[in-house]
Structure 1
Amino acid sequence: MTTLVTGGAGYVGSHTVAALAAAGHDVVILDDFSNARRDLVGALRSLTTQKLEVVEGDAGDRATVDAVFDAYRIESVVHFAAHKSVPESVAEPLRYFRNNLMSTLTLAAAAVERQVGRFVFSSSAVVYGTPAALPVTEETPTEPESPYGATKIMCERVLSDVASASGMQVVMLRYFNPVGAHPTGIIGEDPPGEATNLVSAVMRVAAGTLDKFEIFGGDYPTRDGTAIRDYIHVMDLADGHLAALAANLGERPSRIFNLGTGVPTTVLEVVAAASEAAQRAIPFEIVARRPGDLGASWADCSRAARELEWQARRGLNEMLEDHWRFVSGRSDRQH
């Protein structure tokens, strides 16, 4: 039996594939490489197995998805494949709705037809919008403030209804801000094109490929004026997906879990930790806020601790040290 991982060549997807393989799962990756590097496949195979199956294609294309299900005995699905930039979604909402909804609808239809038992969906804390109270629990009202967040909550509702109407159980993981890399430094986050995630941009400055880091907003009502987030090590997040696949939901058709550390951290604190990890100063400039960005958000993960028997184990310094190990090693290999 095999787990299908859509978007498995992306950042969180690749680390989850590594964790699945380490736990003895057979894995098939489906990825169109629109937000992933093809050379990651070789690195991932060196961590897992040369027999790792990789199919290049669009998770929203029914013929492609059917071909994958026909070729392999898919027992479970972990669905990452999605566009994921908040500011980009504000500029291109139709592109985000088309891609993120179609991939979820297509996969869900194929999975139900093939009687797949478990479907794990990669959601996001952006579904909460600007929460009225912190920390955020799974019962916090969902009021997304960007098209990206809207696509995530719409996909959650689709999958919840599909689970109620079928025998497929769905676990939806609302995770916060992934940081870090595999401890070997072999895989990590290095997206093609512009770095849209905070830590990727910080590390490019540390590596010398960007002149300075732009902090979007220095006038938030926080302890240093910069936005607060809940950063989680990508390997802890990968372990959360393993726990979601194995979770005993009982008679419940679906369940939602927050995945984070529960530790609020400002952007300036991330820059300081990155400077320490890289052993060099990271120049930055505070500029205007971006549309769709939030002032503060961090998680209450007690439900995941109780029901998934999962909790984050790695702190901010380990996140940044592992992230820098990958970025600096990649820079050395390229030169």
Structure 2
Amino acid sequence: MILKTSNLSEYKILVTGASGFLGRQLVKTLLANRASVVGIDCNPPPSSYDKAIENESFRFVLGNFQDKVDEALSQFISLKKKKGAVFHMAGIAHTEECGKNPIRAFESNVLLTVQVLEFCIKNKINRFVFPSTGLVYGDQGGRPSREQNPSIAQNIYSATKLSAESIIQGYANSFGLNCIIARLSNVYDSDVHPATVVGTILKQVKNGGKIAVRSLAPIRDFIYIDDVIEGFIRLFVSIDKAGCYIVNLSTGIGSSVQELAETACKAASIPIDRIQSKEELESLKSMLVLDNSLLVKLTGWRPRYNLSEGLRLILKDLV
């Protein structure tokens, strides 16, 4: 569902990673809220862009940001709007993929962030939005993680995000930018990465067989993609002063993998006795839930969809 919640008619917005998991939904929602948009991605626009491409307020640049920066700038300038902003969605967002190729991960998640920030400085764009991850908190021992909690790089992916966060803070403080860093909990949609726990379960539900996962014990904070996109926009319209603002974007509600699997089965009318796990891994109980009280305080908004509602929306199209 594309939400119309804000009037962004004064803005032209560059979206990097515009064909990606977050970017594709963000582009459509920004256009629905009357922003003009330049999307850039090394992958072609998805089929869901059919209507967006026809929108005279939308431009798409195919290629890497480093190679196509001049074309992106030209398209950005061509949009006659008073205010400019960048939503930097490009990068590698999967833990295992980053771990397999750390150099590529740092190039995609850190170096590219520097290059996009430089683009902002050179072209006097003072608003910047960036998705980080709740994984930077690690396991907080059964308590929801708050923004002031210590952060730790437990793997290459979280290390790249923490590095990017630090760089963004430096640019915000040095150049007077307005930078918003949204630390996301576990985002899900029908296009979620197949190697994630949600992706694994959705694929198995679609196939109609057993629901087999590594462990049913971990507790996570699952948030539907439409809520994430609306959260980005709510933060963007609520915070416009110079500085760097780090905010958890989450439901604040923990659900175990077992609850996730059972909810998916119920949504698809599949018996829950098909759910299995590797018993030797049941000791891997961990909790990663993000406190969203700062998000609520800053925006007055809470996520719309609970886990059952979000999964039903996805599964009605998959099964």
Scaled by the length of structure 2, the TM-score of the pair is 0.86
CA contact (8 A) 1:65 1:107 kept: no
Count how many residue pairs are aligned between Structure 1 and Structure 2: 300
- In the alignment, is residue 311 of structure 1 matched against residue 316 of structure 2? no
Residue matched to 1:65: 69
Note the aligned Cα RMSD (angstroms): 2.3
1:53 aligned partner: 59
After superposition, the Cα gap between the structure-2 partners of 1:13 and 1:278, relative to the gap in structure 1 and judged at 3 Å, is same
Higher relative contact order (CA closer than 8 Å, sequence separation 6+): 1
The answer to whether structure 1 residue 298 and structure 2 residue 303 are counterparts is no
Distance 1:246 1:237 in 2: 14
Alpha-carbon distance change, 327 to 44 in structure 1, aligned in 2, over 3 angstroms: farther
Aligned partner letter, 1:217: S
Residue of structure 2 equivalent to 1:331: none
1:235: Cα distance to partner?
0.7
**Structure 1 position 244, deviation (Å):** 2.4
CA separation in 2, counterparts of 1:118 and 1:297?
29
In structure 2, distance between residues paired with 1:236 and 1:49? 26
Q: Who is 1:10 aligned against?
A: 20
| Pairing of 1:171-250 with structure 2 (within 5 A) | 171-180=180-189, 188-189=190-191, 195-208=194-207, 212-218=210-216, 226-250=217-241
Q: Tell me by how many angstroms 1:55 deviates.
A: 1.6
Report the alpha carbon displacement of residue 50 of structure 1 after superposing the two structures with TM. 4.0
Q: Which moved more, 1:94-103 or 1:233-242?
A: 94-103
SS of the residue 2:145 aligns to: coil
Where does structure 2 lack aligned partners over 5 or more consecutive residues? 1-10
Matches within 5 A, 1:99-178: 99-132=108-141, 134-178=143-187
Identity %: 24
SS of equivalent to 2:277: strand
Q: Is the 8 A contact 1:174 1:257 kept in 2?
A: yes
- Once the two structures are superposed, residues 71-120 of structure 1 have per-residue CA deviations (whole angstroms, 9 ceiling, x without a partner) of 21381111111111112322322221122112111101111111112100
Partner residue, 1:42: 47
1:46 Cα shift?
3.0
Displacement of 1:307: 1.2
Q: 2:205·2:211 contact (CA, 8 Å) conserved in 1?
A: no
Gaps of 5+ in 1: 181-187, 219-225, 329-335
1:278 aligns with one of 268, 274, 281: 268
> In 2 relative to 1, CA 211–53 (structure 1 residues): closer, same or farther, beyond 3 Å?
farther
The one-letter amino acid paired with 1:43 is S
> How far is the alpha carbon of 1:69 from its aligned partner?
1.5
